[in-house]
């Protein structure tokens, strides 16, 4: 963030750094029911104190998010998370293996939970995650309450991987942004429901299905990815999501001159408006650039964004899931 850009921020949205004093100020603001965007290893989250219904209501309004879509409660540790939800044997195994990290567990809400009903959209289950990011963890420790944090974008838009993205989408609607630089992973956490006997994959994400299955020692089932609109399992997985303004054409085998190209593995080296998610064809690198490059191509004024085929293996599952939603009818 340049000094010049900083000066253009109105006093209503504070730009904060990741320094300890700023993190303490952010924690104090959260206690006062303010909305603070902060970095995690996946994407920037828009935080509110999960125990204050007033703060959570403001968060839904700022994002333009439907109230039926529950929020993930972020906690500083497995201990803190265990006060919010009841982790069965599978959930505990996954939590011990992957937390802190990009895994969200949906479990029955605990009797001791402090997070309010509105944060869970009235469900009897709760999404829990301990993020692996020094600024996020410092903030959560300083707050000492669970913090709900959806991705810090307006509902339906592309998720933010830089503080500037949050600013572009939400600057007139939130109280502060903690700038921790670009996020490392670039796609959201994997969501696993541990409600019944068999864990169910609700959202493909930063931890691959193979990693989850290896940890559990058995295979997991997946909720139908584009979902049943009347009763979606993860209510936020609406089919149109992560959508740029420009229309998207998936699995391109060739490109037209008036198209921008989201390339992978240097498949269209001659295209004029082109960004390559990973010239060497690495899905991990590609995930880290996905949202940033979608935003960059969106402002090129192209008729269409053509997307090169991306292998479905590993993080490719999450990348293809997001692209499918970005291309879905609106």
Residue 200 interacts with ligand TXA (CB under 6 A): yes or no: no
What DSSP character marks residue 55? H
Residue 324 interacts with ligand TXA (CB under 6 A): yes or no: no
Residue 278 interacts with ligand TXA (CB under 6 A): yes or no: no
From residue 86, alpha-carbon distances to 79, 91, 209, 276 in Å are 11, 9, 23, 43
How far apart are the two ends of the chain, measured CA to CA in Å?
33
Give the Cα separation of 186 and 44 in Å (integer): 9
Residue 120 interacts with ligand TXA (CB under 6 A): yes or no: yes
- As measured in angstroms, the least distance from the Cβ of 162 to ligand TXA is 14
Q: What is the dihedral of CA 318, 152, 103, 126, to 10 degrees?
A: -120
Beta strand 103-108 with 190-193 is parallel
Residue 288 interacts with ligand TXA (CB under 6 A): yes or no: no
* Plot region of 72 (φ>0 → left; ψ -120 to 50 → alpha; else → beta): beta
Nearer to ligand TXA, 102 or 265 (CB): 102
* Region 212-251 residues binding ligand TXA, contact defined as CB under 6 A: 234-237
Residue 174 interacts with ligand TXA (CB under 6 A): yes or no: no
Nearer to ligand TXA, 225 or 300 (CB): 225
Beta strand 259-263 with 304-307 is parallel
Q: Which of 13, 18, 42, 82 binds ligand TXA (CB under 6 A)?
A: 42
- As measured in angstroms, the least distance from the Cβ of 46 to ligand TXA is 8
- Give every CB contact of residue 24 below 8 A, 6+ residues apart in sequence: 142
Q: Among ligand TXA, Mg ion, none, what does residue 40 contact (CB within 5–8 Å per kind)?
A: ligand TXA
Of residues 213, 79, 94, the one with CA closest to residue 144:
79
- As measured in angstroms, the least distance from the Cβ of 300 to ligand TXA is 26
Q: Among Mg ion, ligand TXA, none, what does residue 120 contact (CB within 5–8 Å per kind)?
A: ligand TXA
Centroid of chain to Cα 269: 31
- As measured in angstroms, the least distance from the Cβ of 45 to ligand TXA is 3
Residue ranges that bind ligand TXA, judged by CB under 6 A: 40, 42-43, 45, 69-72, 102, 104, 106, 120, 123, 125-127, 129, 131, 149-151, 188-189, 191, 202, 234-237
């Amino acid at each position: 963030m340049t000094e010049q850009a900083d000066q253009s921020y109105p006093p209503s949205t504070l730009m904060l750094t990741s320094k300890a004093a700023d993190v303490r100020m952010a924690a104090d603001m959260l206690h006062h029911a303010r909305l603070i965007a902060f970095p995690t290893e996946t994407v920037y989250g828009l935080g509110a104190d999960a125990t204050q219904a007033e703060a959570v209501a403001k968060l839904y309004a700022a994002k333009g998010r439907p109230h039926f879509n529950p929020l993930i409660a972020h906690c500083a540790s497995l201990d803190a998370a265990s006060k919010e939800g009841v982790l069965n044997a599978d959930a505990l195994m996954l939590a011990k293996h992957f937390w802190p990290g990009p895994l969200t567990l949906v479990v029955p809400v605990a009797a001791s939970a402090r997070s309010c009903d509105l944060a869970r959209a009235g469900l009897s289950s709760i999404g829990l995650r301990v993020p692996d990011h020094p600024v996020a963890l410092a903030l959560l420790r300083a707050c000492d309450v669970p913090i709900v944090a959806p991705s810090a974008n307006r509902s339906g838009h592309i998720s933010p991987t830089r503080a500037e993205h949050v600013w572009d989408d939400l600057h007139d609607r939130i109280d502060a942004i903690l700038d921790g630089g670009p996020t490392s992973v670039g796609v959201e956490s994997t969501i696993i429901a541990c409600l019944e006997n068999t864990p169910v994959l609700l959202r493909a994400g930063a931890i691959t299905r193979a990693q989850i299955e290896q940890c559990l020692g058995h295979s997991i089932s997946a909720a139908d990815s584009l979902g049943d609109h009347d009763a979606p399992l993860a209510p936020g997985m609406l089919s149109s999501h992560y959508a740029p303004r420009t229309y998207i054409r998936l699995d391109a085998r060739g490109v037209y001159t008036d198209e921008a190209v989201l390339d992978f593995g240097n498949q269209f080296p001659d295209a004029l408006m082109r960004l390559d998610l990973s010239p060497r064809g690495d899905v991990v690198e590609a995930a880290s650039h996905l949202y940033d490059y979608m935003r960059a191509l969106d402002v090129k004024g192209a008729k269409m964004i053509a997307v090169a085929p991306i292998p479905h293996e590993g993080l490719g599952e999450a990348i293809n899931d997001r692209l499918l939603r970005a291309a879905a009818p609106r």
